[in-house]
Amino acid sequence: MDAAEFRRRGREMVDYVADYLENIEQRPVYPDLEPGYLRSLIPSEAPLEPESYEDVMKDVERVIMPGITHWHSPYFFAYFPAASSYPAMLADMLCGAIGCIGFSWAASPACTELETVMLDWLGKMLQLPECFIAGTDGHGGGVIQGTASEATLISLLAAQRYKSLKEQHSYLCRPNRLQHCGPTTCSLWVFSLMLPVLLPKAHSSVERAALIGGVMMRKVPTDKTYAVGGHMLKQMVEEDKAAGFIPFYFCATLGTTPSCAFDHTTELGPICNDENMWMHIDAAYAGSAFICPEFRPLLNGIEFADSFNFNPHKWLLVNFDCSAMWVKKRTDIIGAFKMEPLYLKHENQESALTTVLFASSWVLQHWQIPLGRRFRSLKLWFVFRMYGLKGLQAHIRKQVALAKEFESLVRADKRFEICAEVIMGLVCFRLKGSNELNQNLLKKITKSQEIHLVPCQLSGRFVLRFAICARTTESRHIQQAWRHITQLTFELLQEPSH
């Protein structure tokens, strides 16, 4: 395909994309397929000779679209939103064309520098404390990670290193691998212990990070709002210290995945600081809302954190992947990853100015697991400018209002109950009655393919999560979804078994 054909096919693809998104609600939101459906629809080997573009695009409709869960359908209410907007898609096209691999400043200066400045813009939109803003001479700053899991893992690895430097008398071991170690042997060692807020409701990414980081993990119990308070953490830290462990890391969650609960960071932060524990705050979904002054108080306590992360690719209209992470001290995080073979060095790295700005602390590859990186800050730049702060705030507020609208509908129906406070765009609800009843309702909903939800578990109860996801979801979709749910409920309750 040459440039001339790309011009033609590119226009067709732009129209295909626009058509897809304009008409998405006519497609069943969730596919009706058996696993393994695709393999029989296409050849078992790549073709030897080139095929035509028309044939490929025909197969997109024949093979791919029937197997898509349409995340951008206004009837998609599962998981959390995956952000999507036209400006972000345009920026991604530009990113693909530039196609630089920004592992160092020299590999494409604009890629490193725009990212640094965009994370400053975003940090200011969230009113992060000054210490997280890079500016021209700050010690903190932000970086784009792929996902919140990577941000959590990186903060954990940085904490391990940080703690090992501070606790010169202790050894950081892998206690979870030491199950054969008798008590006598163990007493020779001081183990590191990770204490993340991995309540049963927090995100599995923390658990994964602990697994990869190879550290022990304790789950801190939550209060009746499914949030962690200071006294719970304090008690656990004391217990563990008494048992000879060193707690060194705590991950607070603002907006948990199951119910969007908010840990009490103003209580938790001082404890972490006193105990010399690294505090990471994960606000993967809810973080975007902090650009609205009315939601910003939920972020109070951030001043105690060592690192903070949220995903603009969830709720800030920036297509996946774009997870924003800030640290108070860049040097804390770089040491855990720094490698500089000759082929990645460049002349400017040696200059005084670069040394300050980019040589060590702004070589963004030292901030992440992968070596290479795409020019993802272009998406932020396009979205921030084309929506403006006010446009982004309007998007958040609209989706929160839609959640409140759905909440009202549920509350008005005595057969249902709301299971957690509705603060953002997520409503946790269930039919009053058994878990089985609710499981059956969800099965009916899934089978209908008209709307798509996923469940969660709160205090042992099977709960339905209704998340406002698509940018194009309007009141009429909420009303239609509720009519559909009540219709299926009516049918369910008619069945002899209930």
Under rule CB under 8 A, which residues in 117-136 are in contact with a second copy?
A: 117, 120-122, 124-125, 136
**Length of the chain counted residue by residue:** 498
Helix (H, G, I), strand (E, B) or coil at 388: helix
Is 416 a binding residue for a second copy by CB under 8 A? The answer is no
The residue behind tokens 């059956």 is 440
Residue 450 near residue 428 (C-beta atoms within 8 A): no
> Site residues for a second copy, window 13-52 (CB under 8 A)?
13-18, 20-22, 30-31, 33-39, 42, 44-51
Residue type (1 letter), 138:
G
**Beta-bridge partner residues of 144:** 324
Helix (H, G, I), strand (E, B) or coil at 280: strand
Residue 244 near residue 255 (C-beta atoms within 8 A): no
- Between residues 114 and 423, which has the closer beta carbon with respect to a second copy? 114
**Segment near a second copy (CB under 8 A); pick from 169-177, 223-231, 410-418, 484-492:** 169-177
| Separation CA 163–CA 13 (nearest Å) | 51
Is 493 a binding residue for a second copy by CB under 8 A? The answer is no
Among 29, 119, 128, 157, binds a second copy (CB under 8 A): 157
Residue 186-225 contact track with a second copy, rule CB under 8 A, x = bound: --x--------------xxx-xx--xxxx-----------
Count residues contacting a second copy (CB under 8 A)?
Answer: 160
Among 456, 468, 478, 481, binds a second copy (CB under 8 A): 456
Residue 306-335 contact track with a second copy, rule CB under 8 A, x = bound: -------------xxx--------------
In the complex, minimum distance from the CB of residue 4 to a second copy, in angstroms, rounded to a whole number: 8
| Separation CA 277–CA 310 (nearest Å) | 21
Residues with Cβ within 8 Å of 436's Cβ and at least 6 positions away in sequence, in order, are: none
Is 282 a binding residue for a second copy by CB under 8 A? The answer is no
Among 183, 224, 242, 343, binds a second copy (CB under 8 A): 343
Residues with Cβ within 8 Å of 183's Cβ and at least 6 positions away in sequence, in order, are: none
Is 244 a binding residue for a second copy by CB under 8 A? The answer is no
- Write the CA distances from 434 to 258, 409, 431, 440, integer angstroms: 19, 21, 8, 10
- Between residues 158 and 271, which has the closer beta carbon with respect to a second copy? 158
- Write the CA distances from 431 to 42, 257, 462, 488, integer angstroms: 43, 21, 10, 12
| Separation CA 234–CA 246 (nearest Å) | 13
Q: Which of 71, 114, 22, 187 is nearest to 358 (CA)?
A: 114
- Between residues 67 and 297, which has the closer beta carbon with respect to a second copy? 67
Residue 430 near residue 258 (C-beta atoms within 8 A): no
- Between residues 443 and 498, which has the closer beta carbon with respect to a second copy? 443
In the complex, minimum distance from the CB of residue 412 to a second copy, in angstroms, rounded to a whole number: 26
Is 165 a binding residue for a second copy by CB under 8 A? The answer is no
Is 183 a binding residue for a second copy by CB under 8 A? The answer is no
| Separation CA 155–CA 161 (nearest Å) | 10
Residue 455 near residue 436 (C-beta atoms within 8 A): no
- Between residues 127 and 300, which has the closer beta carbon with respect to a second copy? 127
> Site residues for a second copy, window 375-404 (CB under 8 A)?
378, 381-382, 384-391
In the complex, minimum distance from the CB of residue 42 to a second copy, in angstroms, rounded to a whole number: 7
Among 131, 292, 369, 418, binds a second copy (CB under 8 A): 369
